[in-house]
Structure 1
Amino acid sequence: MILGNIIGKTSTTEFKFKVENEAKKYQYIKIPAQDSYVLAQIIEIEKHIDETIASCIILGYKEDSHLRPLRFPLNPGTNVEAADDNSINSALGLEKEQGAFLGTLEYTDLKVHLDLNKLLTKHISIIAKSGSGKSYTSACLIEEILDRNIPLVILDPHAEYSTLKKANFKQKEELKKLNLEPKTYSGNIQEYTPDISVNPDAQQLKLSLSNISPADLLNILPARLSNIQTGLLYSSLQNLDKINFDDLIISLDTEETNAKYTLINLIEQIKTLNIFSDVPTTFQELVQPGKASLVNLKGISPEISEIVVYKLVNDLFEARKLGNIPPFFLVIEEAQNFAPERAFGEAKSSQILRRVLAEGRKFGLGCCLITQRPSRIDKSVLSQCTTQIILKVTNPNDLRSLTSSVEGLTAETEKEIKNLPIGTALLVGVVPQPLFVNVRPRKSEHGGEAIDIVGSTPQQVEEAEETEDSDLLPVIKQKTSLKDLELASEKKIISKETILIPCLFVQLQQDSNQFNILINLNENKILTNLETLEGQQLPLKITLSENQLIILRLAIKLKKFTPAELFNLSKLQFSEVYDIIKNLSEKNLFLKHEENKFTLNKTLQIFSEIQGFSSYLKPEYLKTSYDRKLELLYNKDDVLKIFSNFFTITNSKECFLETFKLAYEEKED
């Protein structure tokens, strides 16, 4: 279809034409030229009293399978045609089925596939202001990478990527139009955290203590050392075969200088973080084909997060250089916090990220930097990204930073970036020409929405109309929602009910191990299965003396024991230990076996096995619709009193567990 004719002055890079038929901004157009055509794009349309003028940029002359720069300007009066999908695809080379499907080209149905080999080995940046879709876009990219079994490590300060474990049924119809389906990546995601008391649904991440060098130690200490303190530290380290915090403190303590006290205090601070271990999380566990290791840093202080990122990235980089782990892709959310521009200070992780971005591609380590403030990220880090996915950015400093550091961005493009609708991205670098792409729907659920403080989301309002109540409550949601159960059911559901069970969420510590448990305050059970509501009865009526509690605590740790073992550990008189064992046996709390060995009775064994009942879900304040609440029959203080006898309680919170009761239609024989 002819859209109009070229008018006025033309050049090898731009021209204008008078619009005779319907034309749209960003529409692709073509101009016949010899045996081929010139591909161009409308960047602005101006309407005058008696005419409409479109301003266009020239993308290139189609020659063979490539776009070549134009050497001669186009002739005024030449027809301008709407470019069909085949012409656009042939010129831009978009539909590479083996590539990563990011979305569709603006104003077309053409799918944009990205070459993953180029994408993953030459680093990417995803840039957008808060709420414009940068985490959503990165999650689409992560889905494509996981589908191709490429190992991933994701540094996630806000726990936005945990929802990769859930399928996106909300956009089932939109996905279907693109020949996609909702998908869960729960089998591909392993979540880690430096502190499971903050993120109880993750595994404990332990960093290696055995390979810490003196330079590493200097970098992770929470304060900058003076020359005297640095010399003192190196002197003490020379006395050690390997770095061990306890041995280092002892070595420092022998020094006859007051400078040692500050150093000892700093070492103690690092030790109490409980993130270093002689038995660390292995690199082979973190980097596996088809798996994404999600390092959840939500609730972790910036100082500790920097230490974790520095040590983890440094260790993985060294392991990759030695070939001990396969090539992998590193995703860093809020990258400006881990590699800030030097004017904003130096993070502990800055140096290693500069190295990885500069050298990583040679060793098969690709990076994706995600940031909402490109002006605040280290320029030497950002400049190493050869592909940029840019969504809406409005801050003037950030826009200036983009146009100065990203090739191919013009002043005109800068204006367009400010006005991009949410969900539309400008793709630069991996494609021959900058492209505007409508990012596809996620196959997994999105986890980056802002919290709705004032009210409910439309879906929650709709659900609330079907139920009796809707309140903002601390609730533990089921992994499988009511809607998912309805969709998965092969039987007809004749009634459904959402029930809230009063519970107590407790964070406990035993020695150096931290874990969480959930107690049903309606039935006084420690829940072992949140879906079936199975659990173990909690003994509340235990009245013992202090010495009896000492013996019982030891018995809980040992599980199976002799009187001699309890005597050695208790520091009580043997006769007193013997009397306590006899007394507890008479109460049926201890059970005697052959060879003078004892065990706990079945009721008390729950305390020995308590870590096996850990809850990996935690309560969150959510607008929750429900039909009824069960009655709270047991007092939380009574429960906490029992646990305080045997464990350290670090935190507790009353909450509700969401559960569903469904009734199905019976089939007649």
Structure 2
Amino acid sequence: MEEVGEIKESTTSSFVFRVKNGVRKFDYVCVEHDGIVLSQIWEIKQQSDGIFAEAHVIGSMNKKYMMRTPFPLGGKVYRANEEIIKRVIGIEREGIYIGLLKDTDMKVFLSPESLIQKHLCVLAKSGSGKSYAIGVIAEEFIKRGLPIVIIDPHGEYVSLRRPNLDRNEMQLMKKFGIKPRSYAKNVFEYSPVCSRNREAIPLFLDEVNLSFQDILYLLPDATSAQKGILYEAWKNAREKRIYFLKDILQGIKEVKSSAKWGLVAKVEQIISMELFSPHYTPIDEIVKKGRCSVINLRGVAPYIQETLVSILLTKIFEERKNGTIPPVLIVIEEAHRYCPERGQGKSLAGDIIKTMASEGRKFGVGLAIVSQRPARVDKNVISQCNTHIILKTTNPNDVKAIIASVEGLNASSAGEIQMLPIGVAIVAGLPLTAPIFVEIRPRETLHGGK
């Protein structure tokens, strides 16, 4: 290994060394101290008597080793090689290829099983590469035949069907060992508004023989009196072999109670959304091996989006618990809309997203929470995510929320998060023993967020 310096000051968790050969901030170095100890340079300063670097300990090749004595002064400091970095930090050797460890040619992989079982969070300010990073992950899921469903408020992800022929990015692809590619055969676009999204498959929810619980789910604010009216209307509708929402509406209208009028207005509004149909979209078509299903909500009114997302996620969760669909990763773009933090508004989809965050790992339903406003996303949902991809974020409240939620980050990380170059992410979470800087690889497919 290449020698880069000599220790001048030390504690049990860090050391300062005089630099002999060129090193940069965040480079990895190692020293011998009852085994090879990996450290990362967090600061470099130039003084009249030389250049000095401060390195913080990450871990040891000896897994049973505990730092109990300072590093010996005069000890040699070496540039860490790829094998040491991978073994000590815990970088996967295969899986979801997201990019290169910053300033190296070392590929960084995430475990697809971990993403599905323990959730993912992608946070950054607008324009910093959140959707781009999710596009990279979607490409990798498609390659492996793993189901992924993307809640897409802006219609960005349909571009996964088309190859990335951007000249600058094609040059960059050589560095990352990839080529332009189309996933047209694997990407299925669904939308409740096909007039705006002409290539989409019409998306309808099942309205045939709704259970009483399904109806209550559509009307979460119903009073006790209204629930009684609903139950009576539902019970009467069940006398038919097949019944629809319009039958329940008719039953509500026939009830002799003034409390019915608020219900009539709400049920009429639900019917007017045209989300429900006897010719509904089967969940096992949306969640299917080898398929990326993009739920394109471009042009859909916010209250309809909430209703659709709420019911669709509930149905997916139920089907997965019943074992009728395979394990799946569900991407929630603009997550602050659908699972807002307390005091930041309400959403019909909030409860099911919280349930999925806390219970989904038991059933093979993974969440990828994506937002440019981390402070506005339910903190309990973010805290349930095991893997975090943090790109450039500048809003102080959002940075504070990230640091509070992501293990391995602290107050000193705030400046780094705010100064991240576009396309570079901090990746944190198990099995990594420390956060790492990753240069996100180029998209093989066209980025729809440009």
TM range (shorter): over 0.9
Correspondences of 1:493-642 after superposition (within 5 Å):
none
Corresponding residue of 1:137: 133
> How big is the shift at 1:370?
0.7
Once structures 1 and 2 are overlaid, which stretch shifts more, 156-165 or 252-261?
252-261
Structure 1 counterpart SS, 2:366: strand
Between the aligned partners of 1:114 and 1:104, the Cα distance in structure 2 is: 12
Contact 1:67 1:91 survives alignment (8 Å): no
Which is richer in strand?
Answer: 1
Between the aligned partners of 2:304 and 2:331, the Cα distance in structure 1 is: 19
Structure 1 unaligned spans of 5+: 450-669
> How big is the shift at 1:205?
0.3
Q: What do the CA deviations read for 1:80-124 (whole angstroms, capped 9, x no partner)?
A: 122233332343343613x11111111211111222222221111
Corresponding residue of 2:32: 32
Contact 2:424 2:440 survives alignment (8 Å): yes
Between the aligned partners of 1:343 and 1:213, the Cα distance in structure 2 is: 32
Contact 1:96 1:115 survives alignment (8 Å): no
Corresponding residue of 1:6: 7
Between the aligned partners of 2:210 and 2:38, the Cα distance in structure 1 is: 56
TM-score, normalised to structure 1's length? 0.64
> How big is the shift at 1:79?
1.8
Say if 1:375 and 1:132 are closer, same or farther in 2 by CA, change over 3 A. Answer: same
Structure 2 counterpart SS, 1:155: strand
Q: What do the CA deviations read for 1:585-604 (whole angstroms, capped 9, x no partner)?
A: xxxxxxxxxxxxxxxxxxxx
> How big is the shift at 1:250?
1.8
Contact 1:151 1:328 survives alignment (8 Å): yes
Residues 1:70 and 2:67 aligned together? yes
Between the aligned partners of 1:33 and 1:15, the Cα distance in structure 2 is: 12
AA at the equivalent of 1:316: I
Say if 1:349 and 1:85 are closer, same or farther in 2 by CA, change over 3 A. Answer: same
AA at the equivalent of 2:56: I
AA at the equivalent of 1:33: H
Q: What do the CA deviations read for 1:552-601 (whole angstroms, capped 9, x no partner)?
A: xxxxxxxxxxxxxxxxxxxxxxxxxxxxxxxxxxxxxxxxxxxxxxxxxx
Contact 2:41 2:54 survives alignment (8 Å): yes
Between the aligned partners of 1:264 and 1:343, the Cα distance in structure 2 is: 30
Corresponding residue of 1:374: 374
Structure 2 counterpart SS, 1:238: helix
Q: What do the CA deviations read for 1:430-457 (whole angstroms, capped 9, x no partner)?
A: 32221111111111111112xxxxxxxx
> How big is the shift at 1:195?
1.3
Identity %: 39
Between the aligned partners of 1:178 and 1:84, the Cα distance in structure 2 is: 19
Residues 1:172 and 2:156 aligned together? no
Once structures 1 and 2 are overlaid, which stretch shifts more, 11-20 or 346-355?
11-20
Q: What do the CA deviations read for 1:354-395 (whole angstroms, capped 9, x no partner)?
A: 111111111111111111111111122111101111111111
Correspondences of 1:140-151 after superposition (within 5 Å):
140-151=136-147
Corresponding residue of 2:441: 440
Contact 1:95 1:110 survives alignment (8 Å): no
AA at the equivalent of 1:191: E
Corresponding residue of 2:152: 156
Between the aligned partners of 2:351 and 2:185, the Cα distance in structure 1 is: 34
> How big is the shift at 1:18?
2.1
Corresponding residue of 2:46: 47
Contact 2:164 2:445 survives alignment (8 Å): yes
Corresponding residue of 2:330: 330
Contact 2:99 2:176 survives alignment (8 Å): no
AA at the equivalent of 2:37: V
Between the aligned partners of 1:264 and 1:86, the Cα distance in structure 2 is: 66
Structure 2 counterpart SS, 1:344: coil
Say if 1:69 and 1:370 are closer, same or farther in 2 by CA, change over 3 A. Answer: farther
AA at the equivalent of 2:198: P
Corresponding residue of 1:312: 312
> How big is the shift at 1:243?
5.5
> How big is the shift at 1:415?
2.1
Corresponding residue of 1:232: 229
Between the aligned partners of 1:227 and 1:19, the Cα distance in structure 2 is: 73
Contact 2:332 2:368 survives alignment (8 Å): yes
Say if 1:211 and 1:152 are closer, same or farther in 2 by CA, change over 3 A. Answer: farther
> How big is the shift at 1:246?
1.7
Between the aligned partners of 1:134 and 1:69, the Cα distance in structure 2 is: 38
Say if 1:95 and 1:121 are closer, same or farther in 2 by CA, change over 3 A. Answer: closer
Structure 1 counterpart SS, 2:447: coil
Contact 1:59 1:67 survives alignment (8 Å): no
Say if 1:215 and 1:156 are closer, same or farther in 2 by CA, change over 3 A. Answer: same
Say if 1:106 and 1:240 are closer, same or farther in 2 by CA, change over 3 A. Answer: same
Q: What do the CA deviations read for 1:289-308 (whole angstroms, capped 9, x no partner)?
A: 11111100112111111111
Contact 1:16 1:56 survives alignment (8 Å): yes
AA at the equivalent of 2:46: K
AA at the equivalent of 2:135: A
Contact 2:391 2:423 survives alignment (8 Å): yes
Q: What do the CA deviations read for 1:483-531 (whole angstroms, capped 9, x no partner)?
A: xxxxxxxxxxxxxxxxxxxxxxxxxxxxxxxxxxxxxxxxxxxxxxxxx
Say if 1:21 and 1:177 are closer, same or farther in 2 by CA, change over 3 A. Answer: closer
Q: What do the CA deviations read for 1:301-337 (whole angstroms, capped 9, x no partner)?
A: 1111111111101011111111111111111111111
**Higher gyration radius (CA):** 1
Corresponding residue of 1:413: 413
Between the aligned partners of 1:377 and 1:93, the Cα distance in structure 2 is: 29
Say if 1:323 and 1:21 are closer, same or farther in 2 by CA, change over 3 A. Answer: same
Structure 2 counterpart SS, 1:427: strand
TM-score, normalised to structure 2's length? 0.94
Corresponding residue of 1:206: 204
AA at the equivalent of 2:187: I
> How big is the shift at 1:19?
2.1
> How big is the shift at 1:164?
0.4
Residues 1:425 and 2:422 aligned together? no
> How big is the shift at 1:196?
1.0
> How big is the shift at 1:228?
3.0
Between the aligned partners of 2:243 and 2:342, the Cα distance in structure 1 is: 31
Corresponding residue of 1:83: 80
Between the aligned partners of 2:66 and 2:159, the Cα distance in structure 1 is: 45
> How big is the shift at 1:219?
3.6
Contact 1:331 1:368 survives alignment (8 Å): yes
AA at the equivalent of 1:47: Q
**RMSD of aligned C-alpha atoms?**
1.8
